[in-house]
Amino acid sequence: MAVPAAIRPDSWDFALFLHVLGAMVFVGALVAAAVTLLAAYERDARLRLLAFRLLLFVGLPAYVAMLVGGEWITSKEGLGGENDPAWLVIGVVVTDLTAVLLVVSIVLAGIASRKSKVCLGRATGALATVALVANVVAVWAMTAKPT
């Protein structure tokens, strides 16, 4: 038996679009920054500076768009109470964890690009990779909707 698709009112479309677009750009920025930081050569400060700028000027605004869109669509759907579905709880936990990892990554990438610290740049790349893995779990939770 086929399950009919969930129909949302048209007024919810922009909030959902903002959330998904922000998440896609954010994950892309994390991938680009992690690869750039982990592949940076010993003396190549330009790659560390690029990763810092990616996190600050692309990752942070995309994170804010993802967060605002997510909160907006959550309020429109009437979620956010005690009996939230598991996929929403996973998304909220990952979003909070990612905020901490993003701020720490931006600060460390900034220091690594200014002071030309190779090991600090690689540590930042590792943090960005952890944030990326957490966000892939959130993407799975948002699409698969586990109970």
Mean of pLDDT values over 102-131: 89
Provide DSSP, 4-36: PPP---GGGHHHHHHHHHHHHHHHHHHHHHHHH
Cβ-contact 124, 12 below 8 angstroms:
no
Nearest residue to 106 (alpha-carbon basis) of 140, 63, 141, 43 = 63
Q: pLDDT digits over 18-66, tens only?
A: 999 999 999 999 999 999 988 876 667 888 889 999 999 999 999 999 9
pLDDT number for residue 18:
93
Quickly state the pLDDT bin for 136 (edges 50, 70, 90).
very high
Determine the Cα–Cα distance for residues 111 and 25; give it in Å rounded to an integer.
24
- Going from the C-alpha of 44 to that of each of 39, 51, 112, 117, the distances in angstroms are 10, 12, 11, 10
For the chain, give every domain's residue range.
13-144
Contact between 22 and 63 (Cβ < 8 Å): yes
Q: Is the pLDDT of residue 8 over 70?
A: no
Could you give the percent of the chain with pLDDT greater than 90? 48
User: What is the pLDDT at residue 4?
Assistant: 55
Q: Residues of the chain with pLDDT > 70: what percent?
A: 91
134 half-sphere exposure, CB direction, 13 A CA radius: 21
* Top-ranked range on mean pLDDT: pick from 11-15, 52-56, 87-91, 109-113: 52-56
